[in-house]
Amino acid sequence: MLRLILAVFAVSWLSLQGAMAEPRLALVIGNSNYGQEMGRLANPANDAELMAATLQKLGFEVTRLVDADQKQMKRAIADFGSALLAAGPDAAGLFFYAGHGIQIAGENYLIPLKAEIEKEADAEIEAVSANWVLTQMEFAGNRINIVILDACRNNPMARSMRSASRGLARMDAPKGSFIAYSTAPGEVAADGDGRNSPYTAALAKSMLQPGIAIEETFRNTRVSVLQATGEKQVPWESSSLTGAFFFQAGSAPAAAAAPAPAQPAAQVAAVEPSATTKSLPAGVAAGAVIKDCPTCPELAALAPGRYRMGALDGERGSSDAERPQANIDVGAFAIGKYEVTRGEFAAFVAATGHRASRSCWSERNGSYDFIDGRNWEEPGFSQGDRDPVVCVTAEDAEAYVAWLTEATGKRYRLPSEAEWEYAARAGATGPYHWGSDIDDICTFGNITDAAAIRKFSGWSGVGCDDGKVYTAPVGSYQPNANGLHDVLGNVKEWVADCWNDDLGGIGPTAKARRSGKCSMRVVRGSAWDSPSQIARLAYREGNNAPTAYFNYGFRVARDF
C-alpha cells in the first residue's frame, strides 16, 4: 500500500502562552471500505481514530466520520465550515482525511465511498476537491486552519486517465499557511506494516510534545519517518507562516517532579580534564586568538575540560532530543570566534570555483519554500561581507573546511556537536551562557525580538530590541566566557555529527557521531528568526545535509 500525507496549515502567529486560548474544532474522516474496484485500505480508519484521540487530548472538539460517501463528506465539511464561522475569528480549525486520493491535471481529489470515476471529468462530479475543503475553512475567516490529507499515493484509476499523475500535486496555500507532505509532491510514500501509516504515527506522537513549535513538530516527524522507512520516504514542507503555533502549550514537566540528574547542576562546570584528554600545545593559552591566513576565520583556543551535555529535566522549551544528559571529556581544540562570514566564504569560492547550492529555503512575498536562484549571494535580504554566510549546505561547509586545510596545512573541520555545546556553554549549566533571563538576549545574540516583530506583523518574541531584523554583522553582540560570539542567535550552525534522535550513547569523549541518520546532519544554536523557546544552549535539530536555508550557517574548528 502506498500513501500520501499532505498537511496544510493556515496559521496566524500565536504566543506560546496563548496557544490553547482559542476554541479548537476538528473534523476527522477515514475511508477504508472501498468497493471491489479500489479495494479495502487497512489503515485510514485506524489513522482517523488515532488522530481524533490525539486532537481531543490537545483540546480540540472533534467530529469523526468513517467510510463516508460524497454526500456525507460534503455535508460534514460544509457543517464544519459553518461551525468555524460560529466559533469566531480566534478559532482554530483542523481537517484530517485518510483514504484514497488522486491527482488529475494538477488538481487533488479525495475519493469517497461509492465513487464511480472512469474518466477525468468524473472526478469533479464523484469526488471531493481538496481545494474546496480549503475554501470552506477559509470562508470562516478564523485565524488558524489546519488541513491534513493522508491519501493513497498510487492512483487506483490512473490507467484509464491520460491526465492522472503519480502521487498528489503540490498545493499552494495562502499567506500564513504551512504545507507539509509525507514525501515530495508527485512521489510515493510507504503505508507501513503496522496499525498506522509511518507519517500519521509519527505526527500524532510529535503533536503531543509540550512547548514544541509547529516547525519542530514536523522536523521531529520527518526524522521519525526517515528512520521508519529506511530513508525511502522524506517528508517535505512548504511554509508561508509568519509566526509561531504550538499544538501543545506549556513546557516539559517541572524539574522537581523529574528524576534527579546523575550529577548535580552545581558540579557540571568545566573541570580538570581526564588523564587521556589532549592538552593545549606549549605556548598557547586558553582564549588565545589564532588566525592562520589573511582570509582565514579568527579562532579561539579552548582548554580541555569535562562538562555535562544536554538539557536538564524541566528546562523550558526542551525536548527528549536534548536528553539524556551525558558527561563529556573534551580535548583542547580551536573554534571560530565568529560564524563564517560572507566575505570569508567569498574568498573560498573565488579561490576554488566551488559551486555552492543554487536553491535555498527562503521567503518571497510572505511565502517560504526552496527557491531556485536564492543562494549565499542572494539569500532574499541584504547582507554585507561581515554578516554570517547563509544559504549554504552541510556539504558546502565541508568543502570550505577542506579548502582551509589544504591552504594552511592545518586540520580544519566542522566541530562535533559535543564540542560545539562545550564551547557555547563556557562553563554555564543552564539554558543560556549569560544567566537565567532570556530578555537579556539582545546583549548577547540576535533572535526574534521587537525589531523583527515590527517587520513581521503577528510574530512573537522577546521584548528587547537590537534593531536587527535579519542577520547582523558578526561580533555585534557580547561574547560568552570563551570569547565566542553568536552561539545563540544570528544563524543556526551545521556541525559534523550524523543525526540521532537523542543524546543516548553520546560520549564519553567529544568525538562526532558518525552513525545514525547520516543523510541528515545535526544543527546547533539559534537564528535571527528563532523564537525564545529554542534560543537555548542545549537545543538541537537535524536537517538534510544537501539542503540550504536562509537561517543556517556554520563556524569552523581546528585541531592542534
- Domain of residue 56, CATH code: 3.40.50.1460
Distances, alpha carbon 521 to alpha carbons 185, 227, 462, in Å:
23, 14, 29
Same structural domain, 214 and 315: no
Same structural domain, 198 and 74: yes
Which residues have C-beta within 8 Å of that of residue 94, sequence separation ≥ 6?
24, 25, 26, 27, 55, 60, 145, 146, 147, 148
What digits encode the pLDDT tens for the residues 462-484? 988 999 999 999 999 999 999 99
What digits encode the pLDDT tens for the residues 38-64? 778 888 899 999 999 999 999 999 999
In a domain? residue 255: no
Residue 237 predicted with pLDDT over 80: no
> Which of 67-71, 417-421, 516-520 is predicted least confidently?
516-520
Same structural domain, 230 and 296: no
- Structure confidence at residue 21 (pLDDT): 59
Q: Which residue has the higher pLDDT, 413 or 137?
A: 413
Same structural domain, 346 and 233: no
Please state, for a pLDDT cut of 90, what percent of the chain lies above it.
57
In a domain? residue 340: yes
Q: Looking at the whole model, is its pTM more than 0.75?
A: no
Q: What average pLDDT does the segment 426-454 reach?
A: 92
C-alpha span between 434 and 12 (Å, rounded): 32
In a domain? residue 375: yes
- Structure confidence at residue 275 (pLDDT): 33
Same structural domain, 65 and 199: yes
- Structure confidence at residue 460 (pLDDT): 78
Grid cell 473534523 in the structure block, residue: 27
C-alpha span between 553 and 400 (Å, rounded): 12
- Confidence class of residue 421 from pLDDT cuts 50, 70 and 90? very high
Quote the cell numbers at residue 80: 464544519
Residue 273 predicted with pLDDT over 70: no
What digits encode the pLDDT tens for the residues 186-212? 666 666 678 898 889 999 999 998 888
- Structure confidence at residue 172 (pLDDT): 63
- Structure confidence at residue 123 (pLDDT): 85
Residue 402 predicted with pLDDT over 80: yes
Euclidean distance between the first and the last CA atom of the chain, given in angstroms as a whole number: 54
Same structural domain, 40 and 180: yes
Same structural domain, 116 and 176: yes
In a domain? residue 269: no
Same structural domain, 116 and 201: yes
- Structure confidence at residue 373 (pLDDT): 95
Same structural domain, 345 and 462: yes
Residue 429 predicted with pLDDT over 80: yes
What digits encode the pLDDT tens for the residues 337-379? 999 999 999 999 999 999 999 999 998 887 788 999 999 999 9
- Structure confidence at residue 50 (pLDDT): 96
- Confidence class of residue 260 from pLDDT cuts 50, 70 and 90? very low
- Structure confidence at residue 412 (pLDDT): 97
Residue 325 predicted with pLDDT over 90: yes
> Which of 140-154, 425-439, 512-526 is predicted least confidently?
140-154
Residue 530 predicted with pLDDT over 50: yes
- Structure confidence at residue 192 (pLDDT): 66
Same structural domain, 298 and 227: no
Which residues have C-beta within 8 Å of that of residue 131, sequence separation ≥ 6?
107, 108, 171
The count of domains in the chain is 2
Same structural domain, 296 and 222: no
C-alpha span between 413 and 510 (Å, rounded): 14
Residue 72 predicted with pLDDT over 70: yes
C-alpha span between 477 and 208 (Å, rounded): 36
Out of 222, 239, 256, a domain closes at 239
Same structural domain, 25 and 99: yes
Peptide bond into 261 cis (omega under 30): no
Parallel, antiparallel or unpaired: strands 517-524 and 492-499: antiparallel
- Structure confidence at residue 167 (pLDDT): 63
Full domain range(s) for residue 485: 289-558
Out of 206, 239, 272, a domain closes at 239
In a domain? residue 248: no
- Domain of residue 508, CATH code: 3.90.1580.10
Q: Angle between the 70-87 and 130-139 helix axes, to the nearest 10 degrees?
A: 20
- Structure confidence at residue 534 (pLDDT): 92
In a domain? residue 284: no
Out of 239, 262, 279, a domain closes at 239
- HSE (side-chain half, CA atoms, 13 Å) at 387: 24
Please state, for a pLDDT cut of 70, what percent of the chain lies above it.
83
Residue 241 predicted with pLDDT over 80: no
In a domain? residue 183: yes
